[in-house]
């Protein structure tokens, strides 16, 4: 199973509340992450213990230039950001190098896999129950 790891503990709350539903990664990661793939979402630093947040399914993987990032891409990656320059600055901090608007990034959107029944599964059980 692949892992989508986030270094900042600030993301734990955003992930758990469903506010962070994407990640923007520097480079073309389309060979690693595929639509429909199940991944483990974790938070922690390399060579350190990591906190398991949840399993998720990848909804989409899109490779584009930094300058092509949409406001939706930016907000789903970090709900606190609204502008491209904020995202570029954040990427520079994470990757420890200058990031240009012509650099390639991969936007990976994901949805948490819940262990608890949802209203949808309750409705599906109700529909299935009336058909029997």
pLDDT at 120: 63
* Unique residue bearing structure tokens 């320059």: 85
pLDDT per residue over 62-114, tens digit each? Answer: 999 999 999 999 999 999 999 999 999 999 998 999 999 999 999 999 999 98
Domain count, the chain: 1
27: three-class secondary structure by DSSP: coil
pTM (2 d.p.): 0.85
Length in residues, the chain: 132
Give the domain extent around 91. Answer: 2-131
Q: Is the pLDDT of residue 128 over 60?
A: no
Tokens of 17: 């509340």
Task: Kindly state the average pLDDT of the residues 22-33.
Answer: 97
Check residue 83 and report its DSSP letter. S
Q: What CATH number corresponds to the domain at position 74?
A: 3.10.400.10
Question: Can you tell me the distance from the alpha carbon of 67 to that of 17, in angstroms, rounded to the nearest whole number?
Answer: 28
């Amino acid at each position: 199973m692949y892992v989508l790891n986030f270094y900042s503990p600030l993301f734990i709350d955003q992930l758990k509340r469903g506010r962070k539903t994407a990640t923007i990664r520097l480079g073309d990661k389309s060979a690693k992450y595929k639509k429909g793939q199940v991944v483990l979402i974790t938070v922690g630093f390399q060579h350190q213990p990591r906190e398991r947040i949840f399993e998720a399914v990848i909804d989409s993987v899109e490779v584009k230039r930094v300058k092509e990032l949409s406001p939706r891409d930016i907000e789903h990656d970090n709900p606190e950001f609204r502008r491209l320059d904020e995202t570029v600055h954040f990427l520079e901090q994470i990757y420890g190098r200058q990031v240009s608007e012509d650099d390639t990034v991969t936007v990976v959107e994901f949805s948490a896999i819940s262990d608890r029944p949802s209203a949808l599964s309750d409705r599906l059980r109700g529909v299935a129950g009336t058909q029997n």
